[in-house]
Amino acid sequence: MLLYVDLADRRPVYQQLRDQVVEAIARGDIGEGTRLPTTRQLAADLAVNFHTVSRAYDLLRQEGFIQVSRKSGAAVYVSGKAAPPEWRASLRTQLAEAYAKDMPRDDILDVCKEILAGFGQREPHRGSSLA
């Protein structure tokens, strides 16, 4: 599994990285315990600023997706934190966009099901490499 930066993407780079890690966890490509590259290593690989990677990691830590320790670096560690209320609001906006365009409820649900089906089982893949 590979992290990458898309300059054409409107999202800030740190957000792209954050989203990619979250999706990788959802897909099951990485799981509880998987070590992430060091910020400096990843920054070098992606040719982005060290602070940018740092910010992505910090965001992931705040959201409870990874744990950062001084000596062993960052690793996936999904805390029990439930998705916050903003998550639901954001999802509502996302679904409204399609519904307002007259996409049928069932079609929208089908897309959701398809996406969820693309996510992996919950068996942690310890030790799988990320970068």
Partner DNA sequence: GTGGTCTAGACCACA
Partner DNA sequence: GTGGTCTAGACCACT
Q: Write out the residues near its own copies by the rule CB under 8 A.
A: 7-8, 12-13, 19, 22-23, 25-27, 62, 64-65, 67, 69-70, 72, 77-79, 81-83, 87-88, 90-103, 105, 108-109, 111-113, 115-116, 118-119, 122
Name residue, tokens 């950062």.
68
Minimum distance of DNA from residue 26's CB (angstroms): 22
Q: Tell whether the torsion through CA atoms of 73, 32, 27 and 79 is positive or negative.
A: negative
Q: From the list its own copies, DNA, none, pick the one residue 74 interacts with, judged by a Cβ distance below 5 to 8 Å according to partner type.
A: DNA
Would you list the DSSP string of 44-99?
A: HHHT--HHHHHHHHHHHHHTTSEEEETTTEEEE---S-PPPHHHHHHHHHHHHHHH
Minimum distance of its own copies from residue 87's CB (angstroms): 6
Please say which residue, 75 or 131, places its beta carbon nearer to its own copies.
Answer: 75
SS3 label, residue 7? coil
Binding site for DNA (CB under 7 A): 12-15, 38-41, 47-49, 51-52, 54-55, 57-58, 68, 70-71, 73-74
Minimum distance of DNA from residue 131's CB (angstroms): 11
Minimum distance of its own copies from residue 110's CB (angstroms): 11
Please say which residue, 33 or 131, places its beta carbon nearer to its own copies.
Answer: 33
Rg (CA), the chain: 16
Helix axes 50-62, 13-27, angle to 10 degrees: 50
